[in-house]
């Protein structure tokens, strides 16, 4: 075979892409490859086995490209290898009939990778780019030396393994993130349910509820994530909360004053262990101390009063006492309505997702149209940005609920 014939250039990708558009398969592909075999100058000098060689190449592509899971863009890329593989088959002859031939192995590996591709020409994924690079390397480098296929195969396999390892690491990180989020959500739900149970029937001021749901709730959340709900630290945290609530029910001030210093020391040490701001701890404990001293009797809901048999039996007094009791009951009912509203809004806030538009009402009367940019689930904070993308407000879950209930944050209708 003349060297000039062996060095016949491979048809350009543009020529082969025409075949891709016409979806050549079966006999059409065979006729096309026989035609190309004549054009590259080898067919007429080959033995009678040349027909079998061309048929074998056509069958190889029919099988690989018949895979329904392979994207059309990858099939178009692989069709560009028909002429290079035909030329390699005509050059190597019998050697090409073995499955171990580098050109056949390359086609199989590219086909296997092509099934996993999820991108296309407009937005290719890393695997799509690897296949595209391997096809381009064959078209650029292969003329007569079929060892090019082996070099490209080695390079492709190396990059393919690295890409698979990268994707596996990414998948593991995604799974870990999902599991961590589920664990965090479980912790928050467990803490809220426990707080709702122990606070049931008690009507407490906002700063006390903020401490229990906020500061102490955050401490319990950190303990749950680090050590789990079976740890001693978790059980101690719940007991400390229970003692704090039980102390509220003590009617003798002397007993309170004996219990509080030790209880507050435990709270301070616990919050300090998770890096809580010491100034904030001091301020919150000072407010709690004043509340415990100034509030000898903690108001309870009507349902809680009715469940308390001792209080039910004490229902007697003057008209003035009756009026005071009526006023107190009205105040209690208003507090109950407020708490119910906040519980409903809290359920709504838990469903908020980035992209939600709201109107922020400032103290000076200014209204700002803002979008929820991020929900920081780790510490229950909501970040809002303006129409230019600048951060304008960051609120905790409790602050956001309070702002919605008071009208300082108003939800905008979809499409507004």
For position 305, what pLDDT does the model report? 47
Longest dimension (CA), the chain: 125
**In this predicted model, what pLDDT tens digit does every residue of 14-40 receive, in sequence order?**
333 323 333 344 556 656 666 665 555
Q: Which residues of the chain does CATH 2.30.30 include?
A: 357-411
Locate tokens 């190889």: which residue? 60
> Is 51 buried (19+), middle (13-18) or exposed (0-12) by CB count in 10 A?
middle
Best mean pLDDT range from 151-165, 239-253, 340-354, 367-381: 151-165
Residues 6 or more apart in contact with residue 322 via CB below 8 angstroms: none
CATH of domain 357-411: 2.30.30
- How many CB atoms lie under 10 A from the CB of residue 123? 8
Contact between 335 and 238 under an 8 Å Cβ cutoff? The reply is no
Give CA–CA dist 191/229, Å, rounded: 10
Give CA–CA dist 175/167, Å, rounded: 12
Contact between 37 and 86 under an 8 Å Cβ cutoff? The reply is yes
pLDDT at 245 over 80: yes
Locate tokens 């799509």: which residue? 128
User: Side by side, which strands form the sheet with 367-376?
Assistant: 391-396, 381-385, 367-376, 357-361, 409-411
Q: What is the mean pLDDT of the chain?
A: 77
Q: Which long-range contacts (CB under 8 A, 24 or more apart) does 15-21 make?
A: 16/79, 16/80, 16/82, 16/83, 17/76, 17/79, 17/80, 19/79, 19/82, 20/75, 20/76, 20/79, 20/80
Of the ranges 26-35, 94-103, 262-271, 298-307, which one carries the lowest mean pLDDT score?
A: 298-307
pLDDT at 211 over 60: yes
Question: Of 271 and 298, which is predicted with more confidence?
Answer: 271
Element (H, E) at 279: helix 278-294
Percent of the chain residues topping a pLDDT of 90: 21
Neighbouring-strand partners of residue 368: 360
> Is 128 buried (19+), middle (13-18) or exposed (0-12) by CB count in 10 A?
buried
- Beta-strand pair 409-411/391-396: unpaired
- Give the single-character DSSP code of 200: T
Confidence of residue 103 (pLDDT cuts 50, 70, 90): very high
In three-state secondary structure terms, 383 is: strand
Confidence of residue 201 (pLDDT cuts 50, 70, 90): low
Residue 44 to residues 41, 94, 331: CA-CA distances in angstroms? Answer: 7, 17, 104
Using left for φ > 0, alpha for ψ between -120 and 50, and beta otherwise, residue 317 falls in left
For position 397, what pLDDT does the model report? 83
| pTM as predicted | 0.53
pLDDT at 66 over 80: yes
């Amino acid at each position: 075979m003349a060297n000039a014939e062996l060095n016949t250039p491979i048809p350009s990708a543009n020529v082969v892409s025409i075949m891709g558009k016409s979806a050549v398969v079966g006999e059409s592909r065979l006729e096309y490859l026989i035609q190309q075999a004549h054009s590259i100058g080898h067919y007429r000098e080959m033995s009678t086995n040349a027909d079998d060689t061309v048929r074998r190449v056509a069958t190889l592509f029919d099988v690989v490209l018949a895979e329904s899971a392979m994207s059309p863009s990858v099939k178009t890329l692989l069709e560009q290898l028909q002429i290079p593989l035909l030329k390699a088959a005509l050059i190597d002859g019998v050697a090409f009939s073995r499955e171990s031939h580098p050109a056949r192995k390359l086609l199989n590996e590219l086909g296997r990778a092509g099934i996993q591709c999820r991108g296309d020409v407009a937005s290719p994924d890393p695997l799509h780019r690897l296949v595209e690079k391997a096809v381009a390397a064959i078209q650029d480098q292969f003329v007569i030396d079929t060892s090019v296929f082996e070099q490209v195969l080695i390079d492709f396999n190396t990059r393919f393994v690295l890409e698979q390892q990268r994707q596996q690491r990414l998948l593991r990180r995604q799974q870990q993130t999902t599991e961590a989020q589920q664990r965090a959500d479980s912790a928050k739900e467990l803490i809220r349910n426990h707080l709702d149970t122990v606070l049931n029937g008690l009507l407490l001021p906002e700063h006390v509820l903020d401490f229990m749901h906020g500061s102490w709730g955050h401490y319990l959340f950190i303990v749950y994530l680090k050590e789990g709900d079976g740890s001693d630290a978790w059980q101690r945290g719940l007991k400390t909360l229970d003692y704090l609530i039980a102390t509220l029910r003590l009617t003798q001030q002397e007993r309170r004053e004996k219990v509080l210093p030790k209880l507050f020391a435990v709270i301070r040490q616990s919050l300090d262990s998770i890096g809580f701001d010491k100034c904030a701890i001091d301020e919150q404990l000072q407010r709690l101390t004043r509340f415990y001293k100034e509030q000898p009797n903690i108001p309870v809901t009507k349902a809680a009063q009715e469940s308390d048999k001792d209080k039910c039996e004490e229902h007697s007094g003057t008209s003035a006492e009756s009026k005071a009791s009526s006023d107190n009951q009205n105040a209690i009912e208003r507090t109950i309505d407020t708490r119910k509203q906040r519980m409903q809004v809290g359920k709504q806030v838990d469903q908020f997702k980035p992209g939600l538009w709201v109107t922020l009402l400032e103290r000076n009367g200014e209204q700002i149209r803002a979008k929820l940019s991020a929900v920081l689930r780790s510490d229950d904070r909501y970040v809002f940005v303006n129409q230019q993308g600048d951060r304008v407000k960051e609120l905790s879950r409790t602050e956001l609920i309070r702002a919605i209930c008071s009208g300082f944050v108003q939800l905008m209708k979809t499409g507004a």
